[in-house]
Amino acid sequence: MQNSLEQTRKRLEEIIALDDIQKAFKLEKELEEGLKKYHFSDNDKNIWSSLLYKLRGHFLPWATSNKFENLIQNDLLNLLQSIDINLKDRFNLRVMPFPKDSQDFVKIDYLKMFLKNREFIGKITISRWLKEYEEFVNYKQGTSLDKKNFLASNKNSTELIDEEKTTLIKVLDIFDYIKPSFDYKDDIINQKIYDTPSTEAAVATRSALNNMPPEAKLIKLSFSDALKKYPELGEQLVTSNKIRLKSFPDSVRPSIKNWLSDYTFNLGYENHNTIVRGNYLFQNENARALNSLDREKLSYVLKSFDENGLVTVNITTKQIVFPAPSRSNEQETMNNRISNPPNKITNPSVGSGFRPEPASRNIEPEIRTERIPEPAKTSLPSNNNMDKMQFSSPQTLPFEKEKLAPQSLPLRITPIPRKNVEERELPRNLVNLKE
């Protein structure tokens, strides 16, 4: 057993030195199975468990979301007892991959995980300790002196032994470290997350939610209530490309929160009418480059913000459900196709302003398309411009007299009056000027 323990320690140190995530997860699984399979004395079990939590603590930044949440809410004390692990650095590494403008919102999620922790320090839970501490420091980042004063003034701390006080200080220190830079009091209080059900109950709730019918997952809320109840909505993307904010040197994600920041920075927080919103949507530096679909979505967000209108929220994905695109967008697509028809169906004379006219302006023309068989011994003109469809007309332009043989066209579209159709035979309208 001692040899196996030393080999595992050596293997663990090598994996940590190399930051080998794949080998770390493999060793974690082996340690979990070993602790379940073999019967250890309490001392040996604690030794093997310490190796497991040292491994988990070091690779905390790369843990899956579910595993990370479970560790913070249920195994925080085991992580803190693991030597050589600086949890502040671990949290910092986990936050770093997120965009800068999103990191504070990620930290809010981490605070909520701490505030759901049901482990005990002394006779009360970590969740309760953190609630009392937040009230003591008024939801701000506490200093070392604040923590000492909190322990000195809190009636529950008098019953803690020194080791428990040290552990509590560590918890408060990390909790302060991950606090966001903005005022988060409302986000925490409105969530009512202190002493909430355990992780198992939360998982059961999520499972029940996933089994709900699709229509039951959609609710309607006013825009302001939706953002308060589901802060994640602020991070939902509205448009396709990044935007620039006056207060940030770099481009930011086109989220609801960032678009509203730009909107209120330029136009203020008062309600704006349709004309003001329209000017913003078509003249603002960020908005004027939008395509029609993105502009329609942004218009919906801004109108909901100004009028505090009802929005549909998917409570599973935590996203606003945008209305279906209007038919005007579909029409715009069709217009683009019409204004840029395929090259194979273009008429070279159209570009020069030539438009075929019916024989009589008072008679509505009827368009009839017919195939004309190609003469056996006649080849098409070599001119590329003549290798395309032509429109026949009672008038014949000079270049048509010289270069175009009507019989050589593979396709002819002839406008014919509804009356006296038999009186117009197109080949006879070609006049020999030399006669």
Domain count, the chain: 3
- In this structure, is residue 6 part of a structural domain? no
Measured in residues, the chain has a length of 435
Q: Are 189 and 92 within one domain?
A: yes
Q: What distances in angstroms separate CA 348 from CA 167, 343, 401, one per listed residue? A: 84, 10, 16
Q: Evaluate whether 80 touches 91 at the Cβ level (below 8 Å).
A: no
- In this structure, is residue 5 part of a structural domain? no
- In this structure, is residue 414 part of a structural domain? yes
pLDDT of residue 353: 39
* Among the listed residues 255, 278, 254, the one whose alpha carbon sits nearest the alpha carbon of residue 267: 278
Give the max Cα distance, the chain. 125
- In this structure, is residue 34 part of a structural domain? no
Q: Are 65 and 188 within one domain?
A: yes
Q: State which of 202, 220, 255 marks the end of a domain.
A: 202
Q: State which of 183, 202, 221 marks the end of a domain.
A: 202
CA–CA separation, 324 and 403 (whole Å): 53
Q: Are 317 and 407 within one domain?
A: no
- The β-bridge relationship of strands 120-121 and 310-314 is unpaired
- In this structure, is residue 334 part of a structural domain? no
Residue 50: Cβ-neighbour burial (10 angstroms; 0-12, 13-18, 19+) = middle
pLDDT one-digit tens code per residue, 176-218: 999 988 777 776 665 544 434 333 334 444 444 444 444 446 8
Q: Are 196 and 223 within one domain?
A: no
Q: Are 241 and 198 within one domain?
A: no
- Where is 201: in which H helix or E strand? helix 199-210
pLDDT of residue 98: 80
Q: Residue 88: which domain range? A: 59-202
Q: Are 313 and 372 within one domain?
A: no
Q: Are 320 and 240 within one domain?
A: yes
Structure tokens at 107: 């930290």
Q: Are 419 and 318 within one domain?
A: no
Buried b (16+ CB within 10 A) or exposed e, 350-363: eeeeeebebeeeee
pLDDT of residue 372: 44
Q: Are 93 and 190 within one domain?
A: yes
Which residues lie below 8 Å from residue 271, measured CB to CB, with a gap of 6+?
A: 306, 307
- In this structure, is residue 268 part of a structural domain? yes
Which residues lie below 8 Å from residue 257, measured CB to CB, with a gap of 6+?
A: 234, 235
C-beta neighbour count of 175 within 10 angstroms: 21
Q: Are 268 and 361 within one domain?
A: no
**Low pLDDT (below 70) residues in the chain:** 1-3, 83-84, 187-217, 326-435
Q: Are 230 and 357 within one domain?
A: no
Q: State which of 161, 178, 202 marks the end of a domain.
A: 202
Buried b (16+ CB within 10 A) or exposed e, 266-300: ebeeeebeeeebeebbeebebbeebeebbbbbbbb
CA–CA separation, 166 and 382 (whole Å): 93
CA–CA separation, 93 and 61 (whole Å): 6
- In this structure, is residue 110 part of a structural domain? yes
- In this structure, is residue 272 part of a structural domain? yes
Would the pTM count as exceeding 0.75?
A: no
pLDDT of residue 38: 82
Q: Are 70 and 172 within one domain?
A: yes
